[in-house]
Amino acid sequence: MDIYKQALRPFLFSFLKTDPEFLHHQTMRFLAWLDRSPPDPLARRIRDYLAHTYGFEDARLRQTVWGIPFANPFGLAAGFDKDGTAAGVWSHLGFGFVELGTVTWHPQPGNPPPRMFRLTSDLAAINRMGFNNRGAQALAAQLQQRWQDASSPIPVGINLGKSKVTPLEAAAADYERSYEVLQGWGDYFVVNVSSPNTPGLRSLQAGDRLAPILQALQAKNQTNKPLLVKISPDLTWQELADILELVEAYHIAGIVATNTTCDRAGLQTTTIAATGNPVAQETGGLSGAPLRSRSTAVIRWIWQQTQGKIPIIGVGGIFSADDAWEKITAGATLLQGYTGLVYEGPTMVGRILQGLGQKLDAGGFSHIGEAVGSATQFPQTKSH
C-alpha cells in the first residue's frame, strides 16, 4: 500500500483543509533541517533512510548532457526550492538533478496570498506566487555555505527571473546581475521569461525583447555554463519558431518545455476557494495533469524543428513512468516534476525511474538516450 496516497495525502488535503502554501513551507522547513551541514545524528539517519528507500540505480538511465553527468533523467522543477534551503537533500529522494529558483536580483515577497490552489479532481494546481524569493545574493550565500567543504551530489540548475520592480526595458541588466553573482554555483542556468505571474514577463518571449537578454547573459558567460530558455505552453507555433531562431543565433544550450498555462479548458474541479471564487477560475499558472498533452506537443514540435539537435527538459503533467516515457520518446532528454510530487508523494521518483527501465526493456533499447525522440518523425525536406 502507498501510505502517502492512501492515508497521508487525504489527511493533508481534506481533513486539515490547510492552505497549500503553508504545507509547502512546513515541508521545506523540515527538508532544510535535514540539509544542515554538518547534520545532527538524527538528521543523518533520516537522510540515510531516505537514500536507501527512495534511491534507484540503473546505469542505462545515466547521461552526459552539456558535458554534465546526470545519474538519471528525472529532476525537481524550479519553484519547489526557490532559495536553495534544501539543495543537498534532493539526491536522497532519488532525483537526478535539481533546479533552484526562480530567483530574481531584488528580494521580493511575491504576490499577496492566497496564491496557491489545488484542483484535486484534475490532479492539478494553480499558483500565482510571483517569484517570491530572497534574491540572487542570498541564494549565492546559501549555496556557498552549503558547498564550501563539498560539492553537490547531483547537477544544480538555477532558474533566473526578472524582478517585479525592474521595468521591462531594463530586464537584460536585471537577469545579468543575478547571473553574475550565481555563475559559480549552478551547473546550468535557465532564463525564465514565461511565468504568467509577473506583469509583462511573458512579453519578454518576443524576439526583440528576448534577444538583448540572451546577448547580455552570453557576454557574461565566461565559464561557458549552459544557458537554457523556459517557454510558455501558450505560445503559437510561429512564436515558438521565432524563439528557436534566437536559440540558434545566441548558441542557447537547450529549452525547458514548458512553464504553466493560462488555459482552463476542460477542468472538472468545482471547489470554492477562500477567495470566494471557484478554484478553477483563480488567476495564475495551471500545472499538473491538464498540462501534460500540450507540453508534450511542444516538446515534439521543437524536436522536429531542430532535428533533435537541442536538448529539451520536458516538464508538465508527469505523474508516472508512462507520462515520462511519452515525453522522452517525443524528444525530451531530461525531465522535471513538481505537481506530480504533491499528488503522488516521494515514492513517485523511484517508481518513474524503475518504470523507465522497464520501458527500455520492452522497447529493446540499451540506453535512455536511444529512446529520446524515438516516437517522433522529422518533417520531410522538400527536394528542389
Catalytic residues: 195
Report how far residue 51's alpha carbon sits from residue 257's, in angstroms, rounded to the nearest whole number: 29
Cell 524576439 maps to which residue?
Answer: 207
User: Backbone phi, then psi, for 311, in 5-degree steps?
Assistant: -60, 140
CA 321 – CA 305 distance, rounded (Å):
26
Cα separation, 248 vs 371, whole angstroms: 24
Other residues' Cβ atoms within 10 Å of the Cβ of residue 285: 22
3-class SS letters over 127-167: ECCCCCECCHHHHHHHHHHHCCCCCCCCCEEEEECCCCCCC
Contact 85, 143 (CB under 8 A): no
Q: What is the 3-state secondary structure (H, E, C) of 294-328?
A: HHHHHHHHHHHHCCCCCCEEEECCCCCHHHHHHHH
d(Cα 197, Cα 21) in Å, to the nearest integer? 16
- Which residue bears the cell 532544510? 32
Q: How far apart are CA 213 and CA 230, in angstroms?
A: 13
Say if CB 345 and CB 5 are below 8 A apart: yes
* Rounded (10°) angle between helices 321-330 and 292-305: 20
Q: Would you say how long the chain is, in residues?
A: 384
